């Protein structure tokens, strides 16, 4: 059964295969041969960057931004990497518009099997257990119908639609999920303790 865990070296070969398959760490940008080569060149440094995420981030427009503290969790079964859940511990001005508290992505070969729904449920349980957030913001492109469904299945309540700050002409939807009273989802234990 898949679990949401802190990244481990044993998942790296499968993680790299997922990158080559079309999985991207950033839902706003696809990976490139160069970005994948960087991971392959120094997997140990890459793993460290997942466990101790940097405090700066390259924004979609190429500028440098300040990253809020965040935790990278991998949805994995055995040694197989299936996808990721990124939990931001707070919001800044940009994340309050696009990004929100929780982001997730599954590798293409496992889409449509319920993995994102289960991984988000586990990510919400992890957030409830490890952070003092009462509710979390999730943002999603209005055309991403699968992700909207995943959010709604996890109790997301629509708040508003805004113009996408990185993609002119596109719309970002805001959903909030209340963490109060949420129990651990059945069948998926909370993540490994990596706050
Ligand atoms: C969006 C994404 C995470 C979904 O992952 P997944 O593992 O396929 O999702 P699940 O299988 O858990 O659930 C998908 C749901 O959307 C539904 N769905 C899929 N395509 C759909 C469509 N075109 N219209 C409406 N519903 C759709 C599925 O039927 C399923 O709902 P159901 O369980 O009620 O049948 C995956 O496509 C992905 O990683 N995309 C790239 C990154 C991304 O967009 N991340 C989210 C950013 S907000």
62 alpha carbon, distance to own chain's centre: 20
The answer to whether residue 190 scores a pLDDT higher than 50 is: no
Write the pLDDT tens digit of every residue in 42-80: 999 999 999 999 899 888 888 898 889 999 999 999 999
Where are the extended beta strands (E) located within 67-156? Answer: 70-77, 80-88, 102-106, 135-141
The answer to whether residue 180 scores a pLDDT higher than 70 is: yes
The pair of structure tokens assigned to 40 is 């392959």
Q: 114 C-alpha vs ligand 1 centroid, how far in Å?
A: 8
CA separation for the pair 147, 83 (Å, rounded): 14
Write the pLDDT tens digit of every residue in 70-127: 999 999 999 999 999 999 999 999 999 999 999 999 999 999 999 999 999 999 999 9
CA separation for the pair 158, 173 (Å, rounded): 7
Report the pLDDT value the prediction gives residue 117, as an integer from 0 to 100: 98
173: which strand partners? Answer: 140, 161
Q: Which domains does the chain have, with CATH numbers?
A: 3-178 (3.40.630.30)
CA separation for the pair 183, 194 (Å, rounded): 19
Report the pLDDT value the prediction gives residue 60, as an integer from 0 to 100: 83
Asked if residue 98 has its Cβ within 6 Å of ligand 1, the reply is: no
Asked if residue 82 has its Cβ within 6 Å of ligand 1, the reply is: no
Q: What is the dihedral of CA 103, 79, 36, 57, to 10 degrees?
A: 30
Entry pTM: 0.92
Task: Give buried/exposed letters for 70-100 (b at 16+ CB in 10 A, else e).
Answer: bbbbbbbeeebbbbbbbbbeebeebbebbbb
Report the pLDDT value the prediction gives residue 57, as an integer from 0 to 100: 87
Asked if residue 104 has its Cβ within 6 Å of ligand 1, the reply is: yes
Whose Cα sits closest to atom 45 in ligand 1? 105
Write the pLDDT tens digit of every residue in 19-30: 999 999 988 889
Percent of the chain with pLDDT over 90: 83
């Amino acid at each position: 059964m898949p679990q949401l865990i802190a990244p481990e070296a044993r998942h790296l070969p499968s993680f790299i295969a997922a990158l080559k398959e079309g999985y991207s760490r950033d839902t706003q940008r696809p990976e490139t041969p160069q970005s994948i080569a960087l991971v392959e060149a120094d997997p140990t440094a890459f793993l460290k960057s997942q466990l101790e995420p940097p405090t700066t981030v390259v924004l979609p427009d190429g500028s440098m931004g300040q990253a809020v503290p965040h935790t990278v969790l991998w949805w994995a079964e055995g040694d197989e990497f299936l996808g990721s859940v990124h939990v931001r511990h707070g919001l800044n001005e940009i994340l309050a518009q696009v990004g929100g508290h929780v982001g997730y992505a599954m590798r293409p070969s496992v889409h449509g099997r319920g993995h994102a729904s289960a991984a988000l449920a586990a990510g919400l349980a992890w957030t409830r257990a490890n952070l003092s957030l009462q509710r979390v913001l999730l943002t999603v492109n209005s055309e991403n119908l699968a992700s909207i469904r995943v959010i709604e299945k996890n109790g997301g309540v629509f708040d508003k639609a805004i113009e996408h700050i990185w993609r002119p002409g596109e719309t970002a939807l805001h959903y909030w999920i209340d963490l109060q009273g949420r129990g651990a989802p059945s069948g998926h234990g909370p993540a490994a303790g990596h706050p």
